Copies of this chain bind each other. A is one copy, B any other.
Amino acid sequence: MENLKIGIAGLGRLGKIHAKNIAFRIPGACLTAACSIVPAELDFAKNELGVTDLYTDFDDMLAKADIDAVAIVTTSGVHCEQLSKALAAGKHVFCEKPLGVNVEECLEAEKAVADHPDLVFMLGFMRRFDPSYVYAMEKIKAGEIGEPYLVKAVGVDPVKSVEGALRFAATSGGLFIDMAIHDIDLMRWFLNDEPETVYAIGSSYGFPQFAELGDAEAGCALFHFKKGGMGIVHTGRTAAHGYHIETEIVGTKGSIRISPIPEKNLALLYNEHGVVTECVEAFPERFAEAYLAEVAEFVDCVRTGRKPDVLVQDGTASTRIAFAATESFKTGKLVEIK
């Protein structure tokens, strides 16, 4: 079988990760084109990855590049438009989260995907491909914790990157849309159910700027699921110790907790502070393997004619839920999720 030829759109922080993985680390794939409106990003593609087929315009790449598939790692606002165009151009699509910036866009994306049943579309919920989450799901499927009924998720960015968070606070959609979307996907995945009600609260605590921008520094949401299950999400922007992603799945016969200590590696320091575990600093470090595995899965799906487990509908559902949480946070009321 021929290698899958992929063109990447967007080579920012996460785009570079995907580009390097496609270029060098995924058997069966090759990076043959790159598109960005940022000249330095195209230089990176050329000099670091050896990609010579470069574009500043997405439509141009679709029209001219010798590619089978597109990886969309651009700014959230254009995901939906670009994935529709790419599918229309007959390309398989790997698209970073979020699917769209509102539910309407997501439904459009669903339609575009449905119109091209022969093409593979996969959304970048990479946590499902992290070895620890994969392991948890295997244990659950093997019945080791009985029937899961509660997911407790924590997702807090490090305070070191708070300036970036503040810069985008007004346009990111807010904490529950920008940050909690992964946790929402995990709840749905592990409980195999949809929430019907949410109560979400939050505020600014150490950084009043978040409230001034209409966002929250930290927030909590409690979700009631249709079959009776429960979900808790604690999310925030200002963890002192690092990038804190923690998830617990509670079942009728036991629990699995992932990463209560977001360790950087296997080393413990014994020093004047006590016994210290340094923590991961950001998502590229924590989810390096997951970012690789998800695109490898995408490539394998295309090459073997399979459909990925992460569907376009997962993007819509998570977005709908995140918007409901945001509504609850803003109104102070319990919100039903249709």
Contact = CB atoms under 8 A, between A and B. Distances in A.
Contacts of A25: 24-25
A131 to B, nearest CB: 5
Oligomer copy total:
4
Given A199-B199, A264-B135, A150 B274 contact: no
Interface string A227-264: 01010101010111110100000111111111111111
B253 A240 contact: yes
> Which of the four size classes fits the interface of chain A?
35 or more
A206 interface: yes
A270 B256 contact: yes
> What 3 pairs between A and B have smallest CB-CB spacing?
A206-B252, A254-B271, A199-B199
Contacts of A202: 230
A166 interface: no
Contacts of A270: 239-241, 244, 254-257
Contacts of A218: 149-150, 230, 250
A228 to B, nearest CB: 4
Interface string A257-295: 111111111111111111111110000000000000000
B145 A271 contact: yes
A334 interface: yes
A330 interface: no
A228 B264 CA distance: 32
